[in-house]
Amino acid sequence: MITCVVDYVIDPSKISDFEEFGRRWIQLVNQHGGTHHGYFLPSEGASDRALALFSFPSLAAYEEYRALFGNDPDFVEADRIRDESGCVLRYDRTFMRPLEA
């Protein structure tokens, strides 16, 4: 299993847009072989940071999902929410593996 951690810098005045963006991506990950663990939004402290975590059974499965970016109309529409609203200022993606008991 591989888990993708996406660290976002967001526009705090556009949280509702970011929530819409996040809900759409949760559906897409889950529909295309992954397990979305959720988006984690600001509560206290810094108000411009958010995280998303989602897993795929393997890097190959993740790459199949990534091949849909820019091609599948549902993926294009989800990115349009981000691009048109400007809710995401920057993001970094890191891949991790779980250490289980």
pLDDT, residue 98, reads 84
* CATH number of the domain residue 36 falls in: 3.30.70.100
pLDDT, residue 10, reads 96
- For residue 57, being part of any structural domain is answered with no
pLDDT, residue 50, reads 96
- For residue 33, being part of any structural domain is answered with yes
Q: Which pTM value belongs to this model? A: 0.88
Burial of 44 (0-12, 13-18, 19+ CB in 10 A): exposed
- Number of structural domains (the chain) is 1
Joined tokens for residue 44: 């206290």
Residue type present at position 64:
E
Domain range for 44 is 2-52+63-96
Joined tokens for residue 37: 């663990």
Q: 9-67: per-residue pLDDT in tens?
A: 999 999 999 999 999 999 999 999 999 999 999 887 779 999 999 999 999 999 999 99
Q: 53-81: per-residue pLDDT in tens?
A: 999 999 999 999 999 888 899 989 999 99
